[in-house]
Homo-oligomer: A and B are copies of this chain.
């Protein structure tokens, strides 16, 4: 991989791509703004971080997924503007799943703002999520306009298969709540569906739009798959030994919320003191430091660090195998470094 680009090439490209992505998203969602339906549009615009109290960049998330589509397309030698419908579509799928997950997980806040169901009630929030789902697929079909009907069908099938995979991951996550005998083997199918499937779709969609052959598309898919898994393993580590712990926000610890994360499932597999404590009762913020140390002493942290490092390496190897080109290829490597080496 050539190193001819500046150290902030990712930031430079992000500044170029993000406004175009946001514009495509706004146009896609505006299809709900029919006469008399301004309120439905308003719910979606609130969720997207464009309207309502607290609207702004902090309410929008990082738009990592659409950036991955665009960067993958450009690094595969494609015209990134042709990939905008795919970039917008994956972000809308991501947000559709967030709206429904927030209901399913009973989450009152997202990006420090009340969730849709908290403000509008569960029935309207389910329905708004369905509208976002339909908009996502109208977006991906716009690839017909930027490229061809054939590519639009390929991309739409890939995205719908991914949505099915998302629901399979979510099914497992929800079903684990009532299970007391979880082990490490239960982690990977859940995370493959909930996190890695959509990231893999992002990178493959970029390559598909660029028009590369199926073998190179599959390498892009593999890159996204490992990137998604590595990101999740890292996120799970930070959920117990990250910022919340360091800064005393114990109430936000994954140990308190009961998340079935990699370190936790490792600890349950060991059937030691941690597993015993976990099975008894929910963990209070006061106990977080103690229980985290218990899990650490049983090897949960070092095991997860090893897994995260291995997955990061696999992601980078897969990226190299895609033969990433030019500034976008360089930016993709920077994006991997930043995502997977973050401390908070």
Contacts and interface: CB of A to CB of B under 8 A. Distances in A.
A116 interface: no
A97 B127 CA distance: 9
Nearest to A136: B160
A19 interface: no
Contacts of A137: 137, 156, 160
A130 B171 CA distance: 11
The oligomer's copy count stands at 2
Contacts of A344: none
A32 interface: yes
A295 interface: no
Contact of A164 (B135, B141, B153, B189): B135
A121 to B, nearest CB: 8
Nearest to A139: B160
A157 interface: yes
A131 B164 contact: yes
Is the contact region of chain A dominated by helix, strand, or loop, or is it mixed? helix
A211 to B, nearest CB: 15
A153 B141 contact: yes
A97 B138 CA distance: 18
A160 B131 contact: no
A171 B168 CA distance: 27
B122 A174 contact: no
A223 B129 CA distance: 30
Contacts of A6: none
Contacts of A127: 100, 104, 167, 170-171, 174
Given A103-B123, A150-B149, A171-B40, A157 B130 contact: no
A192 B60 CA distance: 33
Interface in A150-209: 150, 152-153, 156-157, 160-161, 163-164, 166-168, 170-172, 174-175, 189
The 10 tightest CB contacts between A and B, nearest first, are A104-B123, A131-B167, A134-B163, A149-B149, A134-B164, A40-B171, A149-B150, A149-B153, A138-B160, A137-B160
Interface of A: 31-32, 34, 36-37, 39-40, 97, 100, 103-105, 122-124, 126-131, 133-135, 137-138, 141, 144, 148-150, 152-153, 156-157, 160-161, 163-164, 166-168, 170-172, 174-175, 189
21 contacts: A31-B164, A40-B168, A40-B171, A97-B130, A103-B122, A104-B126, A124-B171, A126-B126, A127-B171, A127-B174, A130-B133, A131-B164, A131-B171, A133-B133, A134-B167, A135-B164, A137-B160, A141-B157, A149-B153, A153-B153, A153-B156
Given A135-B164, A137-B160, A138-B164, 6 more contacts: A36-B172, A37-B168, A137-B156, A141-B157, A144-B153, A149-B152
